[in-house]
Amino acid sequence: MSERILLSHGSGGKLSHDLVADVFVKAFSNPLLDRLDDSAVFPFSGGLAFTTDSYVVDPIFFPGGDIGRLAICGTANDLAMSGAHPLYLSTSFIIEEGFPLDDLRGIVSSMKQAADEAGVMVVTGDVKVVHKGSADKLFINTAGIGLIPDGVNISASRARPGDVVIVSGTIGDHGIAIMNEREGFGFSSELESDCAPLNHLVAEMLEVSSQIHCLRDPTRGGLATTLNEIAAQSGVGITIEEERIPIRQEVRAACELLGFDPLHIANEGKLVCILAAPDAEVVVERIQNSRYGARAAIIGAVSEKHPGRVVLRTSLGASRIIGMPVGELLPRIC
């Protein structure tokens, strides 16, 4: 097989079959995928969650992950934010002619590792190859299916006055890590993406509380966009405390230098949880004891005041409205 992707790899002929067998089936092998039918068939009962997403991040390799890990984690997390247990994923690749085959193998291996960590199976997929210059190296589309346990009802429309707002850790890590790698600013070598699957963490949270009303992963648009979406969908006001929001010093310094608001920066391994106040402490403790939640914190509360708006109480005691970012702050961040 050629050491670079050729247009013939997307032709549906022998090179296509060899590529699928050698790179994808070998990596993701499982009973549902190995049948190599046009669709995967599986039984289910209970509530069903379904999601899809596409990944065009630049660069495709970055500190803390790559486009493949990002694709698996992002899709598993989208399912988990509805309270679902992710089960099955599809993945489709649009590959630019000339893309190094070793890089593709590395990305697929990274996807397999992330899928194993999340406990999901890649059960179907597709590969297309386009002329050189028609795409930028590699784009990945994923879709995922998960089962929602009985009694779980989580939605951005379910925030209620009196609820508490929790964030599972430091914000802005992913966006600043990507920007630093892309532009070569030379910020701290310890700065890396927080890309991680959160479905096991969500399951642990649901074990200790049945009063979780909203879960969201604050990806593009960051924490500010996520909270504004919840406030609008639930018809409530949200107030957050600046001093309680966990932000790495490296991220804070980079944002000050670049003129960014950390609340607008993308994350790929954090979640926002809104739940009934009596359960807040036990849920925070469970998150803090998990692999990806050491710096979880209660950052605010939901009220009837200023419905549809998010207000930040600053460290100086003032208050200001936090809106969504206007335009594309960091293009191709995921």
Mean pLDDT of 309-333: 89
Nearby residues of 249 by Cβ (< 8 Å), 6 or more positions away: none
Cα angle: 149, vertex 151, 153; to 5 degrees: 90
Percent of all residues in the chain with a pLDDT value above 90, rounded to a whole number: 83
For the cut 90, the answer to whether the pLDDT of residue 218 exceeds it is yes
Q: How confident is the model at residue 1 (pLDDT cuts 50, 70, 90)?
A: low
What gap in Å lies between CA 300 and CA 166, rounded to an integer? 7
Q: What is residue 68's three-state secondary structure? A: helix
| Domains of the chain, each with CATH number or no CATH | 7-148 (3.30.1330.10), 164-321 (3.90.650.10)
If we measure between CA atoms, which residue out of 234, 206, 115, 223 comes closest to residue 169? 223
For the cut 90, the answer to whether the pLDDT of residue 35 exceeds it is no
For the cut 80, the answer to whether the pLDDT of residue 56 exceeds it is yes
Mean pLDDT of 63-89: 97
Nearby residues of 322 by Cβ (< 8 Å), 6 or more positions away: 224, 227, 228, 240, 263, 310, 311, 312
The pLDDT tens digits for 133-190 are 999 999 999 999 999 999 999 999 999 999 999 999 999 999 999 999 998 888 877 8
The pLDDT tens digits for 262-302 are 999 999 999 999 999 999 999 999 999 999 999 999 999 99
* 215, 278 Cβ separation under 8 angstroms: no
